[in-house]
Every structure is written in C-alpha cells, then in structure tokens.
Chain A
Amino acid sequence: MSDIMPTDSAYDPQSDISPTDGGPGTGFDFRNLDRRWIFLAMGLSIAIPMLRGVVFPEEPSREVLDVFATVEGLEDGSSVLMAYDYDPASKGELEPMAAAFVRHCAEKKHKLYFITLWPAAVPMLQKNIAILKREYPEYTYGEDYVNLGFRPGNEGVIKVVVTDLKKLYANDVDGTDLNELPLTTNLKNIQSMDLIINVSAGTPGAKEWVQYAATPFDIKMVAGVTGVGYTPLVPYVPKQLAGILGAIKAAAEYEEALLLEYPELRENPATQEGLRKMGPQLVAHILIIGLIVGGNVIFFTDRKRGV
C-alpha cells in the first residue's frame, strides 16, 4: 500500500521537481512530473474554452426537470421564499442557478421573499434582486418582492420564522417596518409559502431548511446546492425535497429548461451563464480523466515491470 500512497512530501507546494529531473538517464519522466505543469494544463483547459466561448448543448435531466416543474407548476403569483444561503466563496458555483430561479419566478409573477442565514450572503441577495430591477421593472418592491436580509441564529432563525416571522423580522433589510409593506402586512410566518427555494453552500442551508421547515410543517421545497453538498441531500428527494440541483451542471440544465419554456430569454446573454461555464468544465473533466487514466497506466506498467 505504501508504494501507491503519496507521502506527505508529495503534497509539499515547495517541491520543485523539474520534468527533466526524473532520474539519471530517464529524460522526460511522467513519474516525477512537476505538479505545476498539471496546474498549468488545468488552467489552460479552463481558460482556452472560456476565451473561445465554447458552449456545448445541454439536455435537462429528469432531476432538473422535477425542480423546474415544481416552480412552473405553481399558480402565477404564488408566494415563494427565496432562501439564499451562500457567500462570495461559492458564487461561481451557485450564482447561475440562483439567478435562474429568480428569472423563472419572475416569469411566473411569483411573490418573492428573499432571506438568508449567512451574514456574507446579503450582497448576494442584492445581486439577485438587481436582476428583478434590471430585467423585470414591473416588479415593485414591497408589493412583488421583499428583501428580509440576514438575522443571526442559524437554524434557530428557521425555528422562529416558521411560526412567527415578525418576532425576528420586524423590518426588512433597509429598516422598513414590515407592517408598512403590502406584501408582508398580513404575513405571519413562512408556513403560508407555496414553495421554499433554497440555494445553499453549506451549513446552515438546505439540510436545516428541510429539518426545521419543510419536513415538520410540510412546506414544499426545492434546493440548489454545491457539488460538495449534493450527495448527502439526495436521500431527501422526493418526499422531503421536491427536487435538487447539484452544482453548475444542474444549473446549466435548469437554464436550458428555462430557455426552452421561455425562448424570449435567449436574447439576454446573462440567462446563459451556467451554460457558458460548462464548456471549460467539460474540457477540464476530460483532462482529469486523462490524467487519472495516464497515472493508472504508468502505475500498472511499472508494477508489471517490477519497478
């Protein structure tokens, strides 16, 4: 086992083994390839397709269509809680799906309540609300959407807002009394929501919304999560979660589903951020697969030769 497991020194970023330092008489040796060549190859595999604008066709999977159908299936003007729990560190992965959810809800004229459990997510909420202001000027603040902002307390916040929202949220993010906004005047708690859409980068996030809101109060919920957070949430589908989007691939598929249903959105390049990011993603994946296969070929060849 020890001969195949990398030693600690193999992960030393200071390591400076040159491609030509493979050993006496070996010349260029992949066994001792400087990891920085791999980093460079990875960088190029992402940069070149991005600069060339490579976009591959996407076909929405059944899992993505389940999420899409949940939002689409609501009556126009339904109440949707937009619980966006992600910060700038994961915006690259989650922003396309968060924006796609906003556009989809706006096309359906849903009433949107933005909320977050992450302190650093407030600018993310503002960025998504900017989509409404820019692309859907008919959406009026306080009547069609409201930004509740952040409150500290992690899942404790969910525990409270699910029974008495105004106990924690007396004001919106700008300090306006919620009783003065038409959308929230009669809002008691989030049990009256027709759907919770959660975009989550970790804890607190989708798991907590399932545990403290969707499951005990039987509120319909869909989620979009990072790649890291996807697999642990899959067991909640379909009973506790109507559907889940996993990482940028699902975001691109959701965008495609949205564009198929609302073709006029295709004129806006911002609606295809996820699709554009899948080009570099595919090339980088091919590189990784190639490196894994290559590494294994070298390993088994060496073992066969008794090296």
Chain B
Amino acid sequence: MMRSSNVIWLLLLLVGGGFLVFRTANGSMGKAYVRHEVFDATTSFKEQIQKIDDEEQQELAKGKTLSERKAAARRKLRDRLPDVAGITWTNVSSAEPGELIGSDGQPDPAVVFSWSRTIGLWIAALGTLAIMSFLWGDNVFYKLAEAIVVGASAAYAMVVGFWTGIIQNLFGKLIPTAMRDTVLPGLPGSQEAELIYIVPLVLSVLMLWRLAPQGGWISRWPLAFFIGATAGIRLVAYLDADFVQQIGNTIIPLIVSDKEQGLMVGQSIGNIIIIVGVLACLVYFFFSFEHTGAVGATARVGIWFLMITFGAGFAFTVMGRIALISDRFYFLFYDWLWIPKPGIDA
C-alpha cells in the first residue's frame, strides 16, 4: 500500500509527464533553430574600406586628416583584396522560433532547424530535471547527471587548460615558429623563442615525476617552489589590499559635517557603527585576556556584529540560490516548453 504522499507525488509526476508528451506530440516545444549567415570576404573587405573612406570624409569636413593608423589599415585591406576573392564563411547563431517567419510574413530561409542544438536542449532540460529529482530522494537519474556534470567540467577545464596553458603560453613562447606553422597560425611573427620558459617546462616535468614508479620525491621540489612563490605573491597582495588599506578604510571621522548640509546624521551613524563594529570584533578575537568585565561586554557586542554579518551573508546566499532556481525554471518554461512569456510573447 503506497503512502498518501507518495500517491500525490506520483500523480504530479504523471500529470507533468503527460503534459510533456502532449506538447512534444504537438511539436510545440523543445526545438532549436539556428540562423545561417553567409559572408563573402571580398564584400567584407570592401565594406571596411568604405567605412574608412567615410571616416576620412568626415575628418576632412572637420578640417582634419585621417590618422596614419587608419590609412595604413586601408592600404593593407586593399593589398589583400585580390587574395581573398572567392573566400566565404558561414556564421551560425541561435534563432528564436518566432524568427522562422520574416518581417514580410514569408518564411525566412536563413533560419533552419538544428538537430545538434535540439539534442543539446533536451539533454540540458532532462539534466536539469534529473538534478532536481534529488529533492524527491537520491536516485539513479541524479547520480547519472551528477557524474556527467563532474566529468564534462573536468574534461572541459583540462582541454581549455591544455590549449591555452601548455600550447599557447608554454610552447608558443618556447618554439613559436613550430607552433605558428602547426596549431597557432595567429601567433605574431614578432614572437621570438624565450628560453626562460624552459624553467617552467622542467618544473612541470618534475611535478609529473610523482607518477613514475621511482623517484617520486622529485615532485616535492617544484611543489615547494610553487608553494613558496604563491605564498610570497599572495602575502604582498593581502598585506596591501586587506591589511594596510583596510586600516586606512577605518580611519574615518565619527562626526561627519558639511558646510552646506551641516551635520550629516546618517553618515555619522554609519561611520560610528563601522568603527565600533571593527573594534568590538577585534576584541572578540583577542584571546590574551579573559573575556570578563569590559572586555567581555565588548566581545559580546563583537559577537552581535558577527552574527548580523553572518545573517546578512546567509540572506544574500538564499537570494542567490533562488535566483539560480528561477533561472532553471526560466529555461524549462520558455526555452524548452515554449510557454509564451507574459508581457513579451503574449
């Protein structure tokens, strides 16, 4: 015999599932479209040249001349014009279902259905529901979605890190010519080999040595270097921004007045609260004296300030979490289910 609450939840799921099946069968949800825009390099170059010509006319009308930089850019564009003849490319961007029909009431041939983006849309929607299903209780859908998120995030970070860190920043500096000829054609011609980058390369290899069957201790040396360097860099930044500057931020007048406005009560109270709060919290974290008497009372005030700060922080966190869930609802309702947006679509 099922519990009454389970029956209600099951009914809700069935109603929701039925709604999905109905809308999917109608073809009125869960499709993604893209807009294909074909560009011609010659036209694009001519437009850029025309733009500079127009700017030159405007400058001449003001009695000025075109800057040398823009004139050089125009020369370069003109020189390259014959080389780019026949080159075209297609820019693919997301399109709303409403864009299927153009402003003239005729179907817009540039907007087409996209299988890949539709599959992505459904994965995103079902993934969202799978993660939300944890509210019901731990289940296989939640675990699957969680594993996909963790795996995809790690893979994404690794791939981006490899291409930007190892390829672009390390080998792009060490062997720029080889990189320019292979995977980094946009690397500036002025880039010369910087042999100093052998140091991070060697340190990286030493770090990976821990995976070797013998001599794993070698990885401690680069690790020690990284920890020392990071600690040093951070120490200086913290000392400046979070210690010295923060002391300066609390050296403020208790009574604020202005020649025009006279005593500024609100700002004065604000400044007094800041100074009292800082001193009281510092006393609370001062453990060389027993927290009794005046010290205890001040520490108590410090606790109040801390609690109010934590409360404000917690309230902001709640607001943030609601914003996140409302974003997912927004995605499910409008991007996936195509419910008309009130005040916009309907």
Q: Contact residues of A with B, CB < 8 Å?
A: 13-14, 16, 18-21, 34, 36, 39-40, 42-43, 46-47, 50-53, 55, 89-93, 95, 119-120, 122, 130, 140, 149-153, 155-156, 159, 168, 170-171, 174-179, 182, 185, 210-212, 215-216, 226-228, 230-232, 235-236, 239-240, 246-249, 269, 277, 280-281, 284-285, 288
One of B5, B93, B328, B342 near A19 (C-beta < 8 A): B5
In the complex, which range does the number of interface residues on chain B fall in?
A: 35 or more
Q: Closest CB of chain A to B316's CB: distance in Å?
A: 4
Q: Is B318 an interface residue (CB 8 A)?
A: yes
Report Cα–Cα, A149/B343, bound state, in Å.
Answer: 36
Q: Which of A19, A227, A246 has the most CB of B within 10 A?
A: A227
Hey, which bits of chain B sit against chain A, CB under 8 A? 3-6, 9, 12, 51, 69-70, 73, 93, 134-138, 153, 156-157, 160-161, 164-165, 168-169, 172, 184-191, 233-234, 237-238, 240-242, 245-246, 248-249, 309, 312-313, 315-330, 333, 339, 341-344
Taking CB atoms, residues of chain A closer than 8 Å to B328 are 92
Judging by beta carbons under 8 Å apart, are A50 and B322 in contact? no
Question: Is there contact, CB below 8 Å, between B237 and A228?
Answer: no
Decide: A179 and B190 in contact? CB cutoff 8 A: yes
Is B249 a contact partner of A239 (Cβ separation < 8 A)? yes
Contacts of B168 in A (CB 8 A): 151, 171
Cross-chain contact A288 with B318 (CB below 8 angstroms): yes
A261 to B249, CA, bound (A): 32
Min CB distance B194 to A, Å, is 9
The reply to whether B319 and A119 contact each other, CB–CB distance below 8 Å, is no
In the complex with contacts A53-B342, A53-B343, A150-B164, A246-B136 CB distance below 8 A: no
Q: Are A92 and B316 in contact (CB under 8 A)?
A: no
- Which residue on chain A has the smallest CB distance to residue B237? A211
Contact A170 B172 (CB under 8 A): yes
Q: How far is the CA of A179 from the CA of B189 in the complex (A)?
A: 10
Contact B319 A239 (CB under 8 A): no
Give A90 to B324 CA distance when docked, in angstroms.
Answer: 7
Q: Contacts A176-B186, A177-B186, A239-B249 known; A247 to B320 CB distance under 8 Å?
A: yes
The CA-CA distance from A167 to B315 in the complex, in Å, is 42
Contact of A120 among B153, B190, B249, B322 (CB under 8 A): B153
**Chain B residues near A210 (CB-CB < 8 A):** 241
Structural contact, A170 and B188, CB atoms closer than 8 A: yes
Closest 6 CB pairs of A and B: A92-B327, A53-B342, A227-B320, A175-B186, A227-B316, A119-B160
Inter-subunit contact B164/A151 (CB<8 Å): yes
CA distance A176 to B245 in the complex (A): 39
Chain B, Cβ-Cβ closest to A95: B327
Residue pair B188, A179 in contact (C-beta under 8 Å): yes
Say yes or no: A46-B325 contact (C-beta < 8 A), given A211-B241, A281-B319: yes
Q: Is the CB of A239 within 8 A of B248?
A: yes
A39-B135 contact in complex given A51-B339, A120-B157, A281-B322, C-beta closer than 8 Å: yes
6 A-B pairs whose Cβ atoms sit less than 8 Å apart in the complex: A16-B137, A39-B135, A46-B322, A152-B161, A216-B237, A277-B327
Excluding A177-B188, A277-B326, 13 further A-B contacts by CB distance (< 8 Å) are A13-B136, A16-B3, A34-B5, A47-B333, A52-B342, A155-B233, A182-B70, A182-B73, A215-B245, A246-B316, A248-B319, A285-B319, A288-B318
Structural contact, A231 and B333, CB atoms closer than 8 A: no
In the bound complex, CA of A91 to CA of B331 (Å): 12
> Would A16 and B240 be within 8 Å (CB), given that A92-B323, A228-B316, A281-B326 are in contact?
no
Distance between A261 CB and nearest chain B CB, rounded to angstroms: 22
A287 to B322, CA, bound (A): 12
A152 close to B322 (CB less than 8 A): no
A3 vs chain B, min Cβ distance (A): 21
Let me know if A231 and B316 touch, CB within 8 A.
Answer: yes
A288 to B138, CA, bound (A): 24
Q: Are A280 and B186 in contact (CB under 8 A)?
A: no
User: How far does the Cβ of B14 sit from chain A's closest Cβ, in whole Å?
Assistant: 15
Chain B residues lying within 8 Å of A47, measured Cβ to Cβ, are: 329, 333
Contact call A227/B317, Cβ cutoff below 8 A = yes
Picked from B134, B187, B343, the residue with its CB within 8 Å of the CB of A177 is: B187
Known A-B contacts A34-B5, A152-B165, A211-B238; A230 and B329 likewise in contact (beta carbons under 8 Å): no
A46 and B329 contact, Cβ closer than 8 Å, known pairs A175-B186, A216-B240: yes
Q: Find chain B residues with CB under 8 A from A176 CB.
A: 186
Q: Are A18 and B323 within 8 A (Cβ)? A: no
Q: How far is the CB of A220 from chain B (nearest CB, A)?
A: 15
Asked whether A159 and B233 contact (CB < 8 A) given A53-B341, A92-B328, A228-B317, the answer is yes
Q: How far is the CB of B206 from chain A (nearest CB, A)?
A: 19
Residues of B close to A149: CB separation below 8 A: 164
Contact between chains at B5 and A51 (CB < 8 Å): no
- Do A92 and B324 touch (CB < 8 A)? yes
Tell me the bound Cα distance from A155 to B234 in angstroms: 9
**Contacts A211-B242, A235-B249 known; A153 to B325 CB distance under 8 Å?**
no
**Interchain CB contact (< 8 A) of B320 among A20, A93, A170, A177:** A93
